[in-house]
Each structure stands twice: as C-alpha cells, then as structure tokens.
Amino acid sequence: MEFALFICGGLWVLAARTAAEHAASGFVSGLHLQNYYEPLLTALFLLFLLLVGFAGISWIATRNATVRSVNALPARATARREWGLGVVVGWGMVVVAVLPMMLAGDLHPNFWVAPAAFGHLLLEVAILLVLSMAQEAVYRGYLFARLIRATGPTMATLLMSAIAAAVSAVHPWAGPLSVFVTFLLSIVFSMAYLRTRALWLPWGLHFAWSACIGVLFGLPVGGWNSFSSVVDTSTNGSTWITGGFYGPEGALFTVVVAVAGMGVMYSLTRDLAWEYTQPVIVAAGYPMDVAPPAEHAKMEQAAAAPVLVQILATTPSEASTMPVIEQHLRGDGERDS
C-alpha cells in the first residue's frame, strides 16, 4: 500500500510540474507580464499543486488528512527556530565550500548596483524561497514518509537521495562528481527531516544553500546561472575546487563539506531530536493487586477504630492516698476556719 501511494505521489509530481509550467506561461502571456516573473509563478503553482495534491491522495487512501500533517508542516513553537537553524547551517556550509576558491584567487566577482538590480535580487530570493520549499515537499515530504513506512528511514534516505541525484544528472554541465555531491547533500537534507520530523529545518537549509551560492556569491546553482543579478562571479582554476560551470556542487571539496555537514547537523539537533523523535514512554507490565494477610487487615481495622478518652473533674472526688497531700489539705481547712 505504501509503495502504491509512493508511485501515485510520484506521478502527481510529474503532472503538477507540467501543469504549473503551462499555468505560469498562460498567466504571463494573458496578463502581459515580463518573462522574468514566469519562474516565480511556476514555483508558486507547483508548490500549491504539490501540497494540495499530496493531501488529496492521502485523504483518498485514509479519509483522514490535512495539508499540514500530510506535508510535514506542523504548527509548533520551534518552527521558526528550526528554519533559522537550517539557514545558519546552510550559510556556513556554503562559506566553507567557497573558501578554497577565495584563497586560491579563483573568484572574479562583478557587481551590478543599478536600482533595477535590487528588484531582480528580491525576485530571485522569492523564487529560491518557494522553489526550495517545493523541492523539499517532493524529496522530504509525502513521498519520503511513504518510503520510510515501507522500507525504514535508512533505505528511504538512500533511495530518495539516489532519485535526487539522478534528476540532477540532466542539469546543464552535470557530471559524475556533481551527481555524487547531490547524493550527499540530499542525505544531509534528509537527516534534517529525520531529526525533527518536519520540513522547517530542511527547508531553511536548502534555501540558504541555494541562495548563498547564487545570490550572495553569484555562482551557478546546480548548473543554472540565473540567480546572479547584483553579484555575478566568474571562476578559473581547477574544476575540483570551483566546480566549473556547474558551480560549487560540482567541486570535489564539496564532498568534504557535505560529509562534515552531516556531523554538524546531527550535533546541533540533539534537543530537537529528543523532543520530536524519541518514543513516548508507556507504562507496561501486569497489575499486582494482592490482598493483604488476614492478620494485617485486623491490625489495620483495630488501629483505625476510634479511641474513647474520659476526662475527669479537676477536683478529685476521693481523698488522696498520699499523707503529705492530706496534711496539706487539712492545714488549709483549719486556717480557713
């Protein structure tokens, strides 16, 4: 059943992508918009179709589904913290990946500071924000959950990472090394999901990774050089350091960065993993209602019985048996008379 739902979800991804592209193209031509709005509209339509479509598939199968629950987007107090942590880790990984290029003098940035450039900058950030969410909904959302239930988290991670790597093989300037790097990065993103069971952390990580490469450093993102408006950087030198036209995701040093990112992700999410992935402790065993011995029950009843206390008058009704007290009392009486 889980494999069947996984196949249905995969077919829906293909259909949603085609429908989103046609819808965005129709909006741009119908409303006479500029062509650079089309990628953003495509990403928005794709994200909407994915979230609603996955919820619909789950509802048909279980009759109990919501968009948030199906797509691993729970409303919880740590959602912003998880997304921010992903952004910090993604930014740090990119800085470490680009550092060898900077030290070797292989980066040659060009800056475009015209007012129109900053409008393009905001548009590119919006595209990456929505597109990274859509990609996480595909690779770490409903489909990933189905594979986890069917094969377990380890095998599901390897399978989804292999699928993501295979898809990246058709990107411009892709090669065996870039495919392998994509496989490792997908494992890092999957770890972010498995440690929190939500898309907030991997979404922030994926967005920061792509935005820092394309927008901040002006380098190609997975072979695409369409996110470099304000900063446009050209590279030279060894491909194993720069990744060539594919960008840092095609560099050999990024393998080291991805492996180190797995350890960093595991270390920084200890408290989140404890809160959201540890099983709830449920009391078990057999009831031990043993009746107490009969003698013990009698002792308890006797101890619980009320005790009657008699309070005597303050003046004794009988003469005292102690001579000293009698003499003292007689002496008082003679003095009174």
Q: What is the DSSP code string of 17-36? A: HHHHHHHHHHHHHHTT--GG
Say yes or no to pLDDT of 190 above 60. Answer: yes
The answer to whether residue 334 scores a pLDDT higher than 60 is no
| Contact status, residue 236 vs residue 108, Cβ threshold 8 Å | yes
Q: Is a pLDDT exceeding 90 seen at residue 19? A: yes
Per-position b or e across 213-240, b if 16+ CB within 10 A of its CB: bbbbbbbbbbbebebbbbbbbebeebee
Residue 301 has pLDDT above 90, yes or no: no
Task: Check residue 298 and give its pLDDT.
Answer: 79
Both tokens of 115, joined, read 């007012």
Instruction: Identify the pLDDT of residue 291.
Output: 74
Instruction: Spell out a b/e string for 176-211, using b for 16 or more CB atoms within 10 Å of the CB, else e.
Output: ebbbbbbbbbbbbbbbbbbbbbbbbbbbbbbbbbbb
Record the tokens describing residue 104, joined without a space: 């070797």
Both tokens of residue 141? 């959302």
Mean pLDDT, rounded, of the chain:
89
Task: Read off φ and ψ for residue 110, nearest 5 degrees.
Answer: -120, 135
**78 or 326, greater pLDDT:** 78
Q: What percent of the chain has pLDDT over 70?
A: 88
Give the rounded percent of residues in the chain with a pLDDT score beyond 90: 69
Phi then psi for 108, rounded to 5 degrees?
-130, 85
Claim: this prediction has a pTM higher than 0.85: no
Question: Which residues contact residue 166 at a Cβ distance below 8 angstroms, ignoring those fewer than 6 apart?
Answer: 179
Nearest-angstrom CA–CA distance, 251 and 26 = 38
Q: Is 233 strand, coil or helix?
A: strand
Structure tokens at 168: 């990246």
Q: Rounded mean pLDDT of 330-336? A: 55
pLDDT band at 55 (very low <50, low <70, confident <90, very high): very high
- pLDDT one-digit tens code per residue, 275-287: 998 876 777 766 6
Tell me, what amino acid is at 122? L
pLDDT at 263 exceeding the cut of 90: yes
**Reported confidence tier of residue 176, pLDDT bands at 50, 70, 90:** very high
> Using an 8 Å Cβ cutoff, are 91 and 204 in contact?
no
DSSP 283: -
The two structure tokens encoding residue 33: 């918009």
* Res. 336: pLDDT tops 80: no
